[in-house]
Amino acid sequence: MNSDYEKRALINTNTMQWQESKNVFKKILSIKDKEETSFIKLNKNSQLSQIEKINSVEIFVLEGTYINEYGEHPQGTYLRLPCENESFVKSEKGFVIFRKTNFFTDNIQVIINTNDTTWLEGQGKLEVKPLYEQTALVKWPEGEKFVPHKHWGGEEVLVLKGVFIDEYGHYPTGSWIRSPHLSEHFPYVNEETIIFVKTGHI
């Protein structure tokens, strides 16, 4: 599913059904070999895996509290872990996460609770919370327009709040867009919008 990184991919995750397996719920956005991008939901008092499974993971906690061998991580936490054992991942009150697995092989670990960080000044009137390299949260104020630009190494966007817009369409909260290397667009918003964005990684 969406395994060709040279093609644009767009999914409104609000229209997807959760796929359940052993009390683990998934919305798979992209899968190629061992690389997977997905939403994962656990209900309260659930465990992600009964067997030991080791991945490198990149996670943004969308709802609830995510618990693993590194601690408890509330909504708004970003994690980039070179090694995580799924058998330690659990939920006491439930959670929903955006997760990418097996996309990197280095040993750099990052855990940021974005609730404790401040917005920094970005280009134009944008505000930014840097996460790791070219990964960030970006807040767009009402009516903001960005300059037309190309994505060297591609771009991946998850709309967390509001409606993200470009000449190709309107993308409400929950939309996931992956654009290939050297793709170009002119993004703007009509209302305050927050996105999780990665560039240069495709």
Residue 134 and residue 154: Cα distance in Å, rounded?
Answer: 11
Closest CA to 97 of 64, 48, 71: 64
What domains does the chain contain, in order, with CATH numbers?
17-114 (2.60.120.10), 117-199 (2.60.120.10)
Residue 64 and residue 167: Cα distance in Å, rounded?
Answer: 34
Per-residue pLDDT in tens (0 to 9) along the chain, 202 residues: 899 999 999 999 999 999 998 889 999 999 999 999 999 999 999 999 989 999 999 999 999 999 999 999 999 999 999 999 999 999 999 999 999 999 999 999 999 999 999 999 999 999 999 999 999 999 999 999 998 999 999 999 999 999 999 999 999 999 999 999 999 999 999 999 999 999 999 8
Closest CA to 78 of 29, 23, 129, 5: 129
- In terms of C-beta distances under 8 Å and separation of at least 24 residues, what long-range contacts does 33-37 make, across chains too? 33/102, 34/101, 34/102, 35/100, 35/101, 35/102, 35/103, 36/99, 36/100, 36/101, 36/102, 37/2, 37/98, 37/99, 37/100, 37/176
Residue 48 and residue 51: Cα distance in Å, rounded?
Answer: 9
